[in-house]
Amino acid sequence: MCRNFFGVLLFLLILGTASATTYYVKTTGNDTTGNGSSANPWRTIQTCASYTALAEGDTCLVSPGDYTGTATSSKVNIVKSGSAGKPITFKSSGAGVMTNGFIISGKSYIVIDGFDITTPLTSAWDSRNYGAGIYLSNAKNNELRNNHIQHTISPGIYLFDSGDTGNKILNNKIEYAGCYAGIVLENGPSNNTIEGNDISHTIQHPRYPTLCSLSGSDADGIKFDGSGNIFRGNYIHDITTADYGNVSPHVDGIQSCCYSGTSNILIEKNWINLTTAGTYTQGVYVDDASYTNINVVNNVIEVIQPINFVNVTTGTIYNNTLLPGNPSLTSANGIQLINSSGIKVKNNIIYERKSDTDHYYLYLENSSSGLDVGYNNYYRISGVTSGSYATDTSTDPKFLSPATTASILGSDGIPFTSDDGLVLQNSSPAINSGTNVSVTTDILGTSRPQGISYDLGAYEYLSIIPTPDCAIGNQITSACICNGSTYSSGYCCSAGYSSSACTILPPVPAILEIEAEECALSSGSTGITFSTQSAAEISYIYQVTETSNPLNGGKAVCNLNVSEAGEYVIQVNANAPNDGSNSIFINVDSDANSDQMVWDIPIAIGFQDSNANWRGQDGNFEYSQFIPKTFDLNADMHKVIIIGREGNTNINKIQLIKISKTISVCLDFTGDKQVNIFDLVYVATRILSPDLIADITADGVVDIFDLIAVSTNFKSC
Return the higher-pLDDT residue of 711 and 74. 74
- Identify the three-state secondary structure at position 2: helix
Which among 199, 202, 318, 309 has a CA at the least distance from the CA of 262? 309
C-alpha distances out from residue 301 to 184, 352, 408, 565, 579, Å:
20, 12, 11, 48, 78
Full-model pTM? 0.65
- What is the average pLDDT across 508-526? 80
Three-state SS for 298? coil
Per-residue pLDDT at 506? 41
Q: What does the pLDDT average to over 644-650?
A: 93
Q: What pLDDT is attached to residue 337?
A: 95
Residue from 315, 313, 337, 333 nearest 324 by CA: 333
Q: Is 696 helix (H, G, I), strand (E, B) or coil?
A: coil
pLDDT digits (tens, 9 = 90+) for 110-159: 999 999 999 988 888 888 889 899 999 999 999 999 999 999 988 999 99
Buried-state track 497-514, b at ≥16 Cβ within 10 A, e below 16: beeeebeeeeeeeeebeb
Check residue 534 and give its pLDDT. Answer: 84
Q: What are the CA-CA distances from residue 108 to residues 60, 79, 90, 304 (Å)?
A: 16, 10, 13, 40
Q: Please determine, for residue 257, whether its predicted confidence score (pLDDT) is greater than 90.
A: no
Q: How far from the centroid of its chain's Cα atoms is residue 394's Cα?
A: 43
Q: Is 481 helix (H, G, I), strand (E, B) or coil?
A: strand
Confidence of residue 320 (pLDDT cuts 50, 70, 90): very high
Strands 198-200 and 173-177: parallel
Supply the mean pLDDT for the chain: 86
367-381, 620-634, 672-686: least confident range: 672-686
Residue 203 DSSP one-character state: B
pLDDT exceeds 80 at position 17: no
What is d(CA 264, CA 282) in angstroms, rounded to the nearest whole number? 21
Higher per-residue pLDDT: 173 or 701: 173
pLDDT digits (tens, 9 = 90+) for 402-412: 888 888 998 88
In terms of Cα–Cα distance, which of 187, 170, 133 is closest to 155? 133
- CA–CA gap between residue 380 and residue 350 (Å, rounded): 9
Whether the bond into 64 is cis, omega within 30 of 0: no
Compute the distance between CA of residue 435 and CA of residue 355 in angstroms, rounded to an integer: 27
Rounded CA separation 504/610 (Å): 23
Residue 372 has pLDDT above 70, yes or no: yes
Report d(CA 555, CA 636) in Å as an integer: 22
Secondary structure of 594-627 in HEC code, one letter for each residue: CHHHEEECCCCCCCEEEECCECCCCCCCCCCCEC
Helix, strand or coil, per DSSP, at residue 683:
helix
pLDDT confidence of residue 55: 95
Q: Where are the beta strands (DSSP E) in 331-416?
A: 335-338, 341-346, 349-365, 372-374, 377-384
pLDDT bin (cut points 50, 70, 90) of residue 681 is: confident
The residue that leads in pLDDT, 605 or 670, is 605
pLDDT tens per residue, range 652-678: 999 988 875 444 445 666 656 677 787
Comparing 500 with 432, the larger pLDDT belongs to: 432
**Per-residue pLDDT, 662:** 42
Whether the per-residue pLDDT at 330 is higher than 70: the answer is no
pLDDT class for 509, splitting at 50, 70, 90? very low
